[in-house]
Structure 1
Amino acid sequence: MAVLGILISAALLLGSASAASLGVVYTEGGMVEGKNIWLGLFRSMDVFKGIPFAAPPGRFEKPKPHPGWDGVLKATEFRKRCLQPNLLQTDTRGSEDCLYLNIWVPQGSKVSTGLPVMVWIYGGAFLVGGSQGANFLDNYLYSGEEIADRGNVIVVTLNYRVSTLGFLSSGDSDAPGNYGLWDQHAAIAWVHRNIAAFGGDPNNITIFGESAGGASVNFQILSPMNKGLIKRAISQSGVALCPWAVNRNPRAFAEEVARKVGCPTDKGMVPCLKITDPVALTLAGHLELTGSPSNPVVNNLVIAPVIDGEFLPEDPSRLFHNAADIDYMAGINDMDAHIFTGFDIPSINQPFQDTPVEDVKTLLTALTKPKGEPAALAAIQEYTLGWGADPPQSEVKKTIVAIETDYIFLVPTQTALYLHTNNANTGRTYSYVFSEPSRLPLYPSWMGADHADDLQYVFGKPFTTPLGYWPRHRDVSGYMIAYWTNFAKTGDPNNGDSKVPVTWPAFTSAGHQFLEINSKMNQDYVKQKLRTRFVYYWTSTFMSFPTVLDSK
């Protein structure tokens, strides 16, 4: 036994000694040094936290290049988030000096070179979020370690400005908006220029993100600003066509913020806002997150990108030609809007409280308001078809979640997939639905995957914290990391270094194929025509009604 112990110790020492490390890396701003984490025999991870990709930003200005630094920058700690409200919107956290990124580089016995690069853009309604994600006992949600190690790719996570400082727009050249999108672009461009020094392939960059981050990914591939920088993209639960993704009347929000902080709403508004306390500005961008059937929360998400004539030259639906050579994967969670419907109609989560059928009609009337009563009646008929005279409560509640999931996520995502495949040259298109049931307790028995439920699996949390998960959760996490990293390598989620459970066919405008992802996957989970009837209602029937009310 003693000899065995000595041999094991020797092997471990040999492994840690033999796993390569980058050491000090030369970047355009200066030298950086991260930490090397030993993972196993001939396996380690170089981790760099808090590398500046731009200078501290000016108020309502595009990011500028970082002036650089002397000596070696110790890149070992996450930097602060960009200034934002706390979750209750009663105080703020973060800093205006926030344009930093983090890099995870997997190493074997030799220093890695030419690795595919995956750049993560976080969600948070363009209001909150940070490059490291939520933290529990130093276990950060957006740690790239599991993806990088299991998929043999470099993972980058970045900060971008959110809330008022990231997205307020005066609707003119004084403060055109989209500062958060410009920050993302600056980080992607920095990665393109510098990632070779970390062992990455600058010509194989995949951007991926969720919710507002998924919409941001879509904006980045549609913008002419990123030409030649991005090879592939993955949008999880969010695209540029979502009803919350573009603010079409930004001036109203800017004037509301100005009034709250005591600034004028005329020509002097932007100069005044630029010298106003940033904490006051951030708190003035308060979003109303209590909804009702007649005023759903989605209609109140006014902090968002704008069509500024530069980053977004025109409506996103007309910019898909810019992504013609970019491989694109997009999908949703099967009950993505459950979190929203819980605010709008709380009774859906109360097992002993009925949800009135009238709430379904009120909600659809609110969502179809721009087209008036005929559109509402058509929608009500569409969603209650097959109910019968006395539908069970579970059916009523599930229908409400389906209505908002269709409107907020599913239909816009399907539309983006159609536009991508119809405009594609070399770019391939893939569609998915994630349906692993939510792990949160107290949820209804009929519950599927809620908004953001996919994140823990993509980032490998069932492996990082195995005691918190069942084996099936490790299965689905392994599947997602395999599909995502194969796609980043080859543009085909089936082909790469990682084995996948089911062959995922490309989405085409003729076949409409998609993959349903969960722990029970087999060939039966390759499907076609995702909720076609409802996609047709929102994209064709609804649009055919004359507009009676400007929605924003």
Structure 2
Amino acid sequence: MPAALPASALLPAHAAFGTPAYGTAVLPVDPVVAQRTGRMHHVPTLVGSTHDEATLFAALIFPQPIPTQAYRQTLQGLYEPQDVDAVLARYPADGNGDVRDELARIMTDQSWACTVHDTRRELGRHQRVSGYEFADATVPVLFPDLPPFPGGYKAYHASELLMLFDFPGVTLTPAQRKVSDYMVAAWGRFARTGDPGWRADVQSLAPDAIGPTDFARDHQCGFWATV
């Protein structure tokens, strides 16, 4: 089948991260436009993420330690010159000699948490939206061959699935089992009624710490809206 577009036209889109294809019968409208304008099915929606989404990706992108003295140079390769000092001020090196954990926090906040926050805000203009954040820093790591990571992987990408499904070889602590039971009940209630059972804009889900969280403040979304 001949290509409808030349490769040169596709290359700019190839580098885009997580961008869905739209303009089809399945997804006729750009999801960003749909969220802003309400051109979608108006149904209750559960939108969430994990507290440390990007630790997994930071470890894969930067498999070797990055010393503190290389922190600024690394950020200079990621941001415009006028933004580097502001990012450094918000995310200073913690002194452990490896800044990959800082880079993971930056990636989590800018690329995951604050986009999730924006999604909830836009959808919430048209329909009921319930938010969650899985925040168990001690959740088992499902991938045994990952390299060591400063501070550990914490609540890494997709780790909330370990609370919702039984995975072979994964054993939860009693405190984690309570979180699991809570989440399974909440997800089931949401599927039945459209209401997971909490009133908070964002419910934090962690052992002995289930409750509201100031998500936008924790992830510095006000700052990232200016970068």
Q: Which category describes the TM-score, using the shorter chain as reference length?
A: 0.7 to 0.9
Q: Secondary structure at the match of 1:480?
A: helix
Of residues 346, 358, 367, the one that matches 2:63 is 346
How many Å apart are 1:487 and its aligned residue?
Answer: 0.7
Task: Indicate if the aligned counterparts of 1:360 and 1:400 stay in contact, CA closer than 8 A.
Answer: no
After superposition, give the CA deviation of every residue in 1:306-361 in whole Å (9 maximum; x if it has no partner): 2336544443221020346211111111111111111222245xxxxx63343355
- Equivalent pair of 1:483/1:493 in contact (CA under 8 Å): yes
Candidates 51, 58, 61, aligned match of 1:334: 51
Asked if the contact 2:67/2:99 (under 8 Å) is kept, the reply is: yes
As a proportion of its length, which structure holds more helix?
Answer: 2
Q: How does 1:244-393 map to 2 (within 5 A)?
A: 251-252=10-11, 299=15, 305-308=20-23, 310-320=25-35, 321-323=38-40, 325-348=42-65, 355-359=67-71, 361-363=73-75, 365-366=77-78, 368=79, 372-374=80-82, 376-377=83-84, 380-385=85-90, 387=92, 391-393=94-96
**2:199 maps to what in 1?**
505
The question of 1:408 aligning with 2:111 is answered: yes
Secondary structure of the structure 1 residue equivalent to 2:39? helix
Please give the alpha-carbon distance, in whole angstroms, between the structure 1 residues aligned to 2:110 and 2:53.
10
**Are the structure 2 counterparts of residues 518 and 533 from structure 1 closer, same or farther at C-alpha, using a change threshold of 3 Å?**
closer
Pair 1:428 & 2:124 matched: no
Q: Is contact 1:330-1:417 (8 Å) kept?
A: yes
Provide closer, same or farther for how the CA distance between residues 394 and 341 of structure 1 changes in structure 2, counting only shifts above 3 A. Answer: same
The question of whether the paired residues in 2 share the 8 Å contact of 1:328 and 1:428 is answered with: yes
Going from structure 1 to structure 2, the CA distance change for 1:385 and 1:405 (only over 3 Å counts) comes to closer
Aligned residue among 439, 461, 464 for 2:140: 439
Aligned 8 A contact 2:204 2:213 in 1: yes
- Following superposition, the deviation at residue 486 of structure 1 comes to 0.7
Alpha-carbon distance in structure 2 between the residues aligned to 1:533 and 1:335: 10
CA distance in structure 2 between the partners assigned to 1:521 and 1:533 by the alignment: 18
Structure 1 SS opposite 2:52: coil
| Distance of 2:116 and 2:60 partners within structure 1 | 23
Aligned to 1:399: 102
**In structure 1, distance between residues paired with 2:52 and 2:130:** 20
Q: Which position in structure 2 is the counterpart of 1:67?
A: none
Kept in 2: contact 1:250–1:306 (CA 8 A) = no
Task: Give a deviation string over 1:89-118, Cα, whole Å, max 9, x none.
Answer: xxxxxxxxxxxxxxxxxxxxxxxxxxxxxx
TM-score, normalisation: structure 1: 0.35
From 122, 128, 139, the equivalent of 1:419 is 122
What amino acid does structure 1 have at the position aligned with 2:108?
T
Distance 1:436 1:250, change over 3 A: farther
Query: Is 2:68–2:95's contact at 8 Å kept on the other side of the alignment?
Result: no
Match of 1:487?
Answer: 190
- Does 1 or 2 have the higher relative contact order (CA < 8 Å, sep 6+)? 2
3-state SS of paired residue (2:117): helix
Between the aligned partners of 1:418 and 1:171, the Cα distance in structure 2 is: 36
Report the structure number with the largest CA radius of gyration.
1
CA 1:385/1:506 → structure 2, altered by over 3 Å: closer, same or farther?
Answer: closer
One-letter amino acid of the counterpart of residue 30, structure 2: D
- Runs (5+) with no aligned partner, structure 2: none
Which whole-Å CA distance do the structure 2 matches of 1:492 and 1:300 have between them? 34
Q: Distance in 2 between matches of 1:459 and 1:382?
A: 37
Q: SS at 1:318's partner residue?
A: helix
* Alpha-carbon shift at residue 490 of structure 1 (Å): 0.8
Kept in 2, the 8 Å contact 1:472–1:519? The answer is yes
